[in-house]
Amino acid sequence: MVDALDAVDTAATVTYVAGLQKPSGVFAGDEWGEEDTRFVYTGLQTLKILGRLDAVDVEKAVGFVLACQNYDGGFGVVPGAESHSGQIFTCLGVLSLTNSLDRLSTASRDQLAGWLAQRQLPNGGLNGRPEKLEDVCYSWWVLSSLAMLGKLHWIDQNKLVGWILSCQDEVRGGFADRKGNAVDVFHTVFALCGLSLVGWGGLKEVDPVYCMPVETTKRLFGSK
């Protein structure tokens, strides 16, 4: 984002990230070995930015992600795990950045989009899974996933915008997870990214796959 990739030791970074991929296609997050779809996404995103997806077995990574899809259309952290909006973002991100989204059938994509649309609660906010409270961060995880599926119109955007704005501290300026709670930078960035995805307020356009400004991803990868 700041045009400083030339300061990165690309070879060392690629060697490190590629070394985290396991025979199943999954990636570990670090030397202690926790493995799940979060690290498949972040590992492949790192290599994509560096132009070195060829350093790993992309097909096995995609296969692992596809194995994480559940009967309800959603995705979990590992095969058989509960569907969760955050993991859906990572899995769709992997499929999108590897040009593999068409590996999901139309029916499967529609089922998944329906599950995501059901995350909107009567107050307009979004939750991460059934029977949970709404949280501003899911304005990103859910909306970005719907954007990748081309289904942003499946939720009430105006109601969501109103709810997100209600979570802003009028004095401090930041956003909280929900109205009345303490604000923080985590929820502030995802509130703004969610608002960007629905075209609110003249914010810079954000790429739903990479969570970066579109002007940055165009510079990195060319016109989309």
pLDDT of residue 4: 86
Q: How many domains does the chain have?
A: 2
Same domain flag for 109 and 5: yes
Same domain flag for 103 and 2: yes
pLDDT of residue 223: 61
Same domain flag for 82 and 182: no
Q: Do 74 and 68 touch, CB atoms closer than 8 A?
A: no
Same domain flag for 104 and 31: yes
SS3 call for 183: strand
End-to-end CA distance of the chain: 17
Per-residue pLDDT tens listing for the chain (224 residues): 667 888 999 999 999 999 999 999 999 999 888 999 999 999 999 999 999 999 999 999 999 999 999 999 999 999 999 999 999 999 999 999 999 999 999 999 999 999 999 999 999 999 999 999 999 999 999 999 999 999 999 999 999 999 999 999 999 999 999 999 999 999 999 999 999 999 999 999 999 999 999 999 999 998 65
- The secondary structure of residue 203, as a DSSP letter, is P
Same domain flag for 206 and 101: no
CA 194 – CA 217 distance, rounded (Å):
17
Which of 89, 113, 137 terminates a domain? The answer is 113
pTM: 0.96
pLDDT of residue 31: 86
pLDDT of residue 216: 94
Same domain flag for 93 and 123: no
Same domain flag for 74 and 109: yes
Same domain flag for 154 and 70: no
